[in-house]
Amino acid sequence: MAAVRVLHCVAGLAHGGYESLIMNLYRCIDRDVVQFDFVSSFPGVYESEIEALGGVIHRIPFITQKGPFVYTHALDRVLTESPRYPIVHSHMDKFSGLVMREAKKAGIPVRIAHSHNTQNEGGLAFQVVKDYYGKMVLPNATHLFACSKAAADWMFGTEAARAHIVLNGIDPERFAVSEVARASVREEFGLSDECLVFGHVGRFTPQKNHDRILDIFSVVHQKAPDSTLLLAGTGPLLDEMRQKATRLGLADCVHFLGSREDVPRLLQGMDGFLFPSLHEGLPVTLIEAQASGLPVTAASTITSEVCVTPLVRQLSLEDSNERWADTALEQAVQNRPVRTSPRAQIAAAGYDIRQTAGWLTNFYLGLAHPND
């Protein structure tokens, strides 16, 4: 029997939270029985790996590039071409309403809307458009997924209780503590073993609050002059943050790494992880950091569902930069001599991707072959 092909609809395939989840699943899923294809608008680092794993990428212009009519026409072409997809799984938050509507019109029997966030991004006009399409989710989706209860509440409202909570799992083996990886990261950036290295992995967007990360690290650097900040990611605010680092006199100790495919290795080279996000669904990067044995200083805006080990300390965004800096420094210094990978706690909390991949395989197969 041929593998069931599932069409995943995404905005792009760059490094990001939901993209990481999809790729973690894709690597672990039994591709002899389930195969992933993609509708994507923006290029990204995962494309060559997807094609190597047997996936097909349908490139169509995004709603904000050519408008909703061009996007809809291109999506319809993918949905109606032969062979038809039995399952469409959309990861575009409230834009999933448009995907669900068109998939229903095309006669796709299984239509999954997956919420990965707890708040709209973008300006007022963009949010109005997203809310418009968000109203199409419930009438057209057959199944609802969310990465957390808060993400389900935000996107599905009164129907949140029927959403399946699909935890953003990882492969704990990829994040095992490694002195070799730690030494190689520090050698790459010319850092001594005594240097305190803080970091962050995420797109340069308002949601991730890099502005605050730099303010906090500025205080850290005053208190611990032999400290460095590694920022992995790309995005619209990257240049602005480079300029801010220079203004703060941090140009020599803040490294902007761009998009990286070696995040597990980078985490090994760090001593602390800063995460003052304004809002999140359930950030997989925090699970990855914990699996690496890395202490995290995170905003209390983030769901406590992600705090599965004592490595996470949550602070209010209203707290001073000094309190954030003191907490991050205290955690980094305390954790340094005894760094271990809390694999058992990660697995017990349900964040081992192999558990998620097994469940999702059975879910897809049960829908695609309901009488088997």
Beta strands in 54-203 (DSSP E): 57-59, 87-90, 110-115, 143-146, 164-165, 196-201
Per-residue pLDDT of 324-344, as tens digits, reads: 999 999 999 999 888 999 989
CATH topology of domain 172-348: Rossmann fold (3.40.50)
Average pLDDT rounded to a whole number, residues 114-143: 85
Task: Render the burial of 62-99: b for 16+ CB within 10 Å, e for the rest.
Answer: bbeeeebeebbebbeebbeeeeebbbbbbbbbbbbbbb
Asked if pLDDT for residue 63 goes beyond 90, the answer is: no
58 near 40, Cβ under 8 Å? yes
Q: What pLDDT was estimated at residue 117?
A: 84
Q: What's the distance, CA 250 to chain centroid?
A: 27
Asked if pLDDT for residue 261 goes beyond 90, the answer is: no
Per-residue pLDDT of 267-300, as tens digits, reads: 999 999 999 999 887 788 999 999 999 999 999 9
The domain segmentation of the chain, as residue ranges, is 4-169+352-368, 172-348
Helix ranges, 200-251 (H): 210-223, 238-247
45 near 201, Cβ under 8 Å? no
Beta strands in 3-116 (DSSP E): 4-9, 34-40, 57-59, 87-90, 110-115
> Which of residues 1 and 212 earns the better pLDDT score?
212
Q: What pLDDT was estimated at residue 263?
A: 93
Output DSSP code: residue 57.
E
Average pLDDT rounded to a whole number, residues 363-372: 82
In the chain, the percentage of residues whose pLDDT exceeds 70 is 97
Per-residue pLDDT of 226-249, as tens digits, reads: 999 999 999 999 999 999 999 999
Q: What pLDDT was estimated at residue 371?
A: 61
Lowest mean pLDDT among 180-189, 250-259, 298-307: 298-307
Asked if pLDDT for residue 51 goes beyond 60, the answer is: yes
Output Rg (C-alpha) for the chain, integer angstroms.
21
pTM: 0.79
Please give the structure tokens belonging to residue 193. 């073993």
Please give the structure tokens belonging to residue 290. 């914990």
How many other C-beta atoms can be found within 10 angstroms of the C-beta atom of residue 31?
A: 15
Q: What pLDDT was estimated at residue 137?
A: 97
Residues 6+ positions from 338 with CB-CB distance below 8 Å: none
- The CATH homologous superfamily to which domain 4-169+352-368 belongs is Glycogen Phosphorylase B; (3.40.50.2000)
Map residue 104 onto helix, strand or coil.
helix
Mean pLDDT of the chain: 92
Beta strands in 107-148 (DSSP E): 110-115, 143-146
pLDDT interval class at 122 (50, 70, 90): low
4-169+352-368 matches 172-348 in fold: yes
Lowest mean pLDDT among 11-15, 122-126, 140-144, 349-353: 122-126
Q: What pLDDT was estimated at residue 60?
A: 95
Q: What pLDDT was estimated at residue 64?
A: 82
Q: What pLDDT was estimated at residue 372?
A: 56
In the chain, the percentage of residues whose pLDDT exceeds 90 is 75
